[in-house]
Structure 1
Amino acid sequence: MHIGLHVSDFTNPGGPATLREDLIRIVGEAEESGYRSVSVMDHLWQIPPIGDAERAMLEAYTTLGFLAARTERVELLAWVTAVTYREPGLLAKLVATLDVLSGGRAWLGIGAAWFEGEATGLGLPFPPTAERFERLEETLRICLQVWSDSEEPFEGKHYTLGRTLGNPRPLKRPHPPILIGGGGEKKTLRLVAQYGDACNLFGGDDVAHKLDVLKRHCDDLGRDYDTIEKTVMAPFTPNDLDGFLESAQRYAALGVTHLHGGFPYFEAGTVKSFGDAVVPRLAEL
């Protein structure tokens, strides 16, 4: 069972002045403790239920580039990229750049986006749900083509690329792993079966059912179900290690191989930085 750390809150008692050092400490400790991956959210405002929109939020790919320079082993990804926030050709270039500069440690985590408030607030496109899923599939196809040997044009319903040239290509071969976030049974899990290297489900009683749905999609498409990594995003409970181990065992019995999550970084007024609160818990967890 692999463990990944999800950093989802950047508001700390020390404010922006201490944020850089806090991130270095937290991610460095995660790497030293044997965590496989580190992720950040692709949001521009904080999301409910974590906190109010006014809480601090860093841009995902800038943050991942910074973390790539401060680490050597952990895999890095946005959990998950909002498909409508960047044009697909640019997104393919962003992930390829992260992969090259991190030494082959980048993933593409991607989903159909959902936080309409931040999109409309900052003037980003946010089409209806059906269109976002159409754009998600086209984006997956475009990224795979840009990362391949092909430079052929791409003509889709929503995107047109005159030349899918990507240089340098990612170090990870055949391409950076693709994690598609969400448990939608008709669209999302079918896209996982067709294009994904990993699914991501939220922890709970329906994980077994969602995996059964994914397997049926794989059967329909002729995809080997066992080639897809099963991941679960769930809150960490460092104060209940026995409970954490029990839940990990339950997920492992279902075929889940990667638990990914985070936990509250500080209690207001009790620590100088969220690094002081998180770092002692990482190795124990």
Structure 2
Amino acid sequence: MRFGIKTRPEHTTWPELRDVWIAADDIELFESAWNWDHFYPLTGDLAGPNFEGWTMLAALAQATRRIRLGCQVTGMIYRHPAVLANMAATIDVISEGRLDLGVGAGWNQQECDAYGIELPPLRERFDQFDEGVQVLIGLLSQETTTFEGRYFRLTDARCEPKGFQRPHPPIVIGGRGPRRTLRAVALWAQQWNAIVQSPADWRALKETLLVRCDEVGRNPAEIVCSVNVVIDPEQGIGPAVDKVAAYAEAGVDLVIMNLPHRAKPEILEPLAEALTPLASA
């Protein structure tokens, strides 16, 4: 089993976030670090501060040297995929090939209403998402991309310079929808970040993913399966590590530890020590 961390860019300061990521970069056990792609906080005062995720990734790519980085996950509704592809290629260059490109269909009604961003009905949103992923892959891997879809149209479009990773930075698709999300995972993803409540929940969805992979002729072993485990600041590390052990037994490949809000770098060493026995699971 492998491990990453996730920090919440809400109600906090840049130095606090930066220092945690730099500390995680020095701990070999943590292979990746993640933020989120929102413009409003998700907890507490929703009128409070929240840093933009992708500009933060660019700065964190420069501040770190080893750890992989990504947004968990980028809402396709927020940016034209050609714009996102250029952002991703640039950050992959800055990080020297450490970007994981997390994407999802998007869901936050409050943000969309506030900014005048259309949030289509669910079926249309996933149609748009499917097109967007294909646009991303084309621009990040091909010299030119021509695409004729309902939502996106490209004509001999270029994205230069390309990122370091070939054919493109790994695509991470987040979600749990058994039909549209898992089909998209089977078609295009190198990692599936499952939104689940328990190992039993994950096992059921994994079985559905195997079916979707069979339908499109994809080897499921090519897809890293990840979940998130929240560390409750009142309970401490112990209960979270117990949850990780249960996911390890269920066969999850990668666990992202959601750190307590405004966690200090000092939490990372004891967390790594507690997780190390599970690393070989």
TM-score (structure 1 length as normaliser): 0.89
Match of 1:261 in 2: 257
- The structure 2 residue matched to 1:193, chosen from 181, 186, 189, is 186
Contact 1:203/1:234 (8 A) holds in 2 = no
Contact 1:45/1:53 (8 A) holds in 2 = yes
Residue 14 of structure 2 corresponds to residue 20 of structure 1: yes
Aligned partner of residue 173 in structure 1, secondary structure: coil
Match of 2:220 in 1: 225
| CA RMSD in angstroms, aligned pairs only | 1.6
Q: How many Å apart are 1:4 and its aligned residue?
A: 1.4
Q: How many Å apart are 1:198 and its aligned residue?
A: 0.7
- The structure 2 residue matched to 1:164, chosen from 157, 160, 164, is 157
Match of 1:144 in 2: 137
Match of 2:109 in 1: 116
Contact 1:145/1:164 (8 A) holds in 2 = no
Residue 237 of structure 2 corresponds to residue 244 of structure 1: no
What are the ranges of 5 or more consecutive residues in structure 2 without an aligned counterpart? Answer: 272-281
Residue 14 of structure 2 corresponds to residue 7 of structure 1: no
- The structure 2 residue matched to 1:45, chosen from 35, 40, 46, is 40
Match of 2:266 in 1: 280
Aligned partner of residue 234 in structure 1, secondary structure: strand
* Runs of 4 or more consecutive aligned structure 1 residues displaced over 6 Å after TM superposition: none
Aligned partner of residue 55 in structure 1, secondary structure: coil
Identical aligned pairs, as a percentage? 31
Contact 2:58/2:91 (8 A) holds in 1 = yes
Mapped to 2, the partners of 1:32 and 1:61 lie a distance apart of 22
Contact 1:178/1:196 (8 A) holds in 2 = yes
Aligned partner of residue 211 in structure 1, secondary structure: helix
- The structure 1 residue matched to 2:60, chosen from 42, 62, 67, is 67
Q: How many Å apart are 1:237 and its aligned residue?
A: 4.8
Deviations 1:116-144 (A, max 9, x none): 11111022222221111011110111111
Q: How many Å apart are 1:111 and its aligned residue?
A: 0.5
Deviates more, 1:142-151 or 1:222-231: 142-151
Match of 1:176 in 2: 169
Aligned residues: 267
Query: Which letter does structure 2 place at the counterpart of 1:3?
Result: F
Deviates more, 1:165-174 or 1:147-156: 147-156
What are the ranges of 5 or more consecutive residues in structure 1 without an aligned counterpart? Answer: 13-18, 266-273
Mapped to 2, the partners of 1:253 and 1:241 lie a distance apart of 19
Mapped to 1, the partners of 2:20 and 2:61 lie a distance apart of 14
Mapped to 1, the partners of 2:170 and 2:44 lie a distance apart of 30
